Amino acid sequence: MACLFPPRFSVRLTTKPELVTPKTPTPREKKPLSDIDDQASLRYHMPGLWFYENKESMVGKDPAKVIKEGLAKALVFFYPLAGRLTEGPNKKLIVDCNGEGVLFVTAEANIALHNLGDFIHSPCPYLKKLQYNVPGSHRITGCPLLLIQVTRFSCGGFALGVRFNHTMVDGYGIQLFLKAVCELAQGGSAPSVLPVWGREMLTAAAAEPNTPTTNHAVYGASDMRNNFKRLDIEWWGSILFNFEKLAAKPLFFFFPNILKPILLRSSFVFGPKEIQALKDQAAAQDFGPCTTFELISACLWKCRTIALQPNPNATVRVTFPTDIRRRSFAGLKFDPGYYGNAIIMLSAATTAKLLCERPITYAIELIREAKNKVSADYVKSVLDFLVINGRPRMSVMRNILVSDISRIGLEKIDFGWGDAIYAGSATAAYGATFLERPKSNSSTERSVLVPISLPHLSMLIFKREIKKMTKFN
- As a whole number of angstroms, the distance between CA 48 and CA 4 comes to 23
Residues 323 and 343 sit within 8 Å (Cβ to Cβ): yes
Active-site annotation holder among 96, 335, 414, 419: 414
- As a whole number of angstroms, the distance between CA 460 and CA 230 comes to 18
Residues 467 and 283 sit within 8 Å (Cβ to Cβ): no
- As a whole number of angstroms, the distance between CA 471 and CA 274 comes to 7
Residues 424 and 121 sit within 8 Å (Cβ to Cβ): yes
- As a whole number of angstroms, the distance between CA 86 and CA 141 comes to 5
Residue 166 annotated among the catalytic residues of the structure = yes
* The Cα angle at residue 314 between residues 311 and 320, in degrees rounded to 5: 125
Whether omega before 47 lies within 30 degrees of 0, making that bond cis, reads no
Amino acid type, 81: L
Least Cα distance to 330 among 379, 282, 260 occurs for 379
- As a whole number of angstroms, the distance between CA 299 and CA 400 comes to 12
DSSP 3-state of 108: strand
CA distances from 109 to 68, 87, 130, 414, 420 (A): 19, 39, 9, 21, 18
Residues 66 and 52 sit within 8 Å (Cβ to Cβ): no
Active-site annotation holder among 166, 216, 384, 404: 166
In sign, the C-alpha dihedral spanning 93, 67, 424, 137 is negative
Helix, strand, coil shares of the chain, percent, nearest 5, are: 35, 20, 45
Least Cα distance to 12 among 129, 174, 168, 181 occurs for 129
- As a whole number of angstroms, the distance between CA 327 and CA 378 comes to 13
Residue 414 annotated among the catalytic residues of the structure = yes
- Please provide the size of the chain in residues: 473
DSSP state for residue 293 in the 8-state scheme: H
Kindly report the number of other CB atoms within 10 A of residue 234's CB atom: 28
- Supply the residues annotated as catalytic: 166, 414
